[in-house]
Chains A and B, each alone.
Chain A
């Protein structure tokens, strides 16, 4: 069959596949939205948690294991909840302190916001 190239923005699915969790990702948004504020009102600094570039030619099929993922997410979620509690405490303590906001990050799924509500 004749193969035609489609520009990147043609298929919404292809765009969503890429933009939601690839490239430069700021993890803190999860915590921010769970704390119930859209801004970080405690003073913060940006830290590089990890850098990965994939410059190998991979021929492996289906590298993503569908089984192990939910468990990893569960652990991450528990960490977030713990962090959330810590941040709430800190927020209460530093309410009167001079504050500065750095960044807010949209949740890719609404679900994460409703946890707080």
Chain B
């Protein structure tokens, strides 16, 4: 029963991702992008809400794989959503199917996670779906697990390496701007963080650096 509830919650997250992606003009997604978007959202959550419990923690056990962060449960959910026509597959692309459900709104912490997905996807959409790979492959927490060949699940809790980097970025702005930094909110820091990573990637400066 517990497993079934978990899959339902993950179903809800996946459908949220597809709905928000539709709003930014991504009508379909590669399966691998679904894993990556949920991973990025989960690893960054505690930066925005440091005093809240990370709602992704109870459902996601990401491990490193050759294709990026992976968890069997997303795989199961995707199959479930495809079989029930909430999603349809066209080649290697997935998109929303003819079935829709309003019940997912009632899932625990659904709205909280939906709002957070919205923040993350709207930032990712600035760069395009094809750039999500660049961000995930250079994500400090993911890289640490990869480099140490860790078989343990990736830490998405507060204090993970990505979180620590964001905190450092924020402290740097606060040091440089003094009190004026109060005018910047955490969402803005997230944007700067992505901006910083992608500008480095574009200049080819982040290939080996953690």
Q: Do the two shown chains form a genuine complex with each other?
A: no
